[in-house]
Amino acid sequence: MGSADESKARRRVHNKMALPIAAAGILLYGSWLLLSADSKTLPTPAVEIPLKSDPPVGSNFLTPSPGPVVSPDSSSRSIFAPGSLSMTRVDSMSKCWVDPKGMYRTHFGDALCVVSESKKMVFYHVRKSGSSTGREVATKTFGGRDMQNCKRRAADIKDYYTVAFVRNPITRFFASYEEMFVRTLGLHKVPKQFDVFHADLENYKAYERLFCGPDADLPRSRGRKPCDQIPTRETGELAHRFERFVKSWDGTMFETHLGFQAPVLSSNDGKPFRLDFIGDTKHTNEHWQEIGKNLNVPKVDVIRGRAYPRRMNITYLQTETYERICRLAAIDFCCLNFELPPQCANAGVACEWEEHDGEQRIVPRVTKR
């Protein structure tokens, strides 16, 4: 073999080895971070889990992952990794199928929306995915009005421009849990088998002391609670409560904020709503400007929605907790084309093309429980 051929061969070997070596390095580093954390001295505030690749601003696209689009435990071409499809979120969601009799059967919801007759636009609420901001923009800038159960008006709005915003399934799950935690606190509305996280807390003040310490008992200043906007000070108690909930929850929706995004954007027969634009909450302003451009609205005023620092300190969470969240939220990872975070590399979550009513549809494929 000539020197040129030898050089090409060496490059091929190097390229094949580089990806697994890099992946192994990331996993080892993540494991070191988890193992080295001292549960008594971790003051680090909660941080967002980044996506491996964000959709380019203004394109409504996700960048496909490199490498083969197949499950590690199957050679079937119908199996693919979450976030690996070379298509927009609009296109991947349009191919989704949510089993009406499966684990997401309680997640379809009532399809709240804002309808603008003047702009022929519909904004679908997806809770904890920029819905407060979206509702404000859709009503004030686009002249819309709130509407309950938009599914019943499907025929009336079939020619309207339809919009929804979605969010990274992991960070959204954190936010959904904390919203549910507060809304059900002290009301005894959580099914007994899942109430393993706040049954012993009498009221919000008891909860506040867990993430704010003694400042929870300070008086309001200028109408605001002193604990509203400070980073969490919790020392693992709230994270452990969250882990107990994740371990016990089977996906049955008992509070509306727990509903996953793909089912919320689907009809009760499992097929998705027709959507023209799916924005990402990481690019809220840019994506609303694009929506405005599409509807001949030159400038869209985007307000900042309700936002609070995360109450639990996620640096205490174990890898097994992330894996279970990824399995629970598999429908969102697959149908909305989100990549799994590094913590879920061994979660047993893949996606699959499956035939339903004569069409190829995207469904989650979970091989672990």
Backbone angles phi, psi at 147, to 5 degrees: -145, 135
Instruction: Report the C-alpha gap between 28 and 12 in whole angstroms.
Output: 25
CB atoms within 10 A of CB 234: 24
Q: What is the DSSP letter of 345?
A: T
Residue 102 has pLDDT above 50, yes or no: yes
Query: Which residues fall within 8 angstroms of residue 26, CB to CB, at 6 or more apart?
Result: 342
Nearest to 300 by CA among 183, 173, 140: 140
The rounded Cα 369 to chain-centroid distance in angstroms is 20
Q: E-strand spans in the chain?
A: 79-80, 113-116, 121-124, 145-147, 161-166, 277-280, 349-356, 359-366
pLDDT value of residue 223: 67
- pLDDT band of residue 69 (cuts 50, 70, 90) is very low
The domains of the chain are located at 79-366
pTM: 0.79
pLDDT digits (tens, 9 = 90+) for 37-47: 333 333 333 33
Residue 55 has pLDDT above 50, yes or no: no
**Secondary structure (3-state) at 78:** coil
Distances (CA, A) of 191 to 199, 203, 334: 11, 18, 28
Question: In the structure encoding, which two tokens stand for residue 293, read together?
Answer: 């451009």
Three-point CA angle 87, 88, 90, nearest 5°: 125
pLDDT digits (tens, 9 = 90+) for 113-156: 999 999 999 999 999 999 999 999 999 999 999 988 887 777 77
pLDDT digits (tens, 9 = 90+) for 278-322: 999 999 999 999 999 999 999 999 987 666 788 999 999 999 999
Comparing 344 with 204, the larger pLDDT belongs to 344
pLDDT digits (tens, 9 = 90+) for 151-169: 777 777 889 999 999 999 9
Instruction: Report the C-alpha gap between 187 and 204 in whole angstroms.
Output: 11
Nearest to 209 by CA among 225, 190, 189, 223: 225
Nearest to 168 by CA among 133, 130, 136, 197: 130
Nearest to 185 by CA among 170, 173, 202: 202
What is the β-pairing status of strands 349-356 and 359-366? antiparallel
Signed CA dihedral, 247, 340, 172, 50: sign only: positive
Instruction: Report the C-alpha gap between 73 and 91 in whole angstroms.
Output: 26
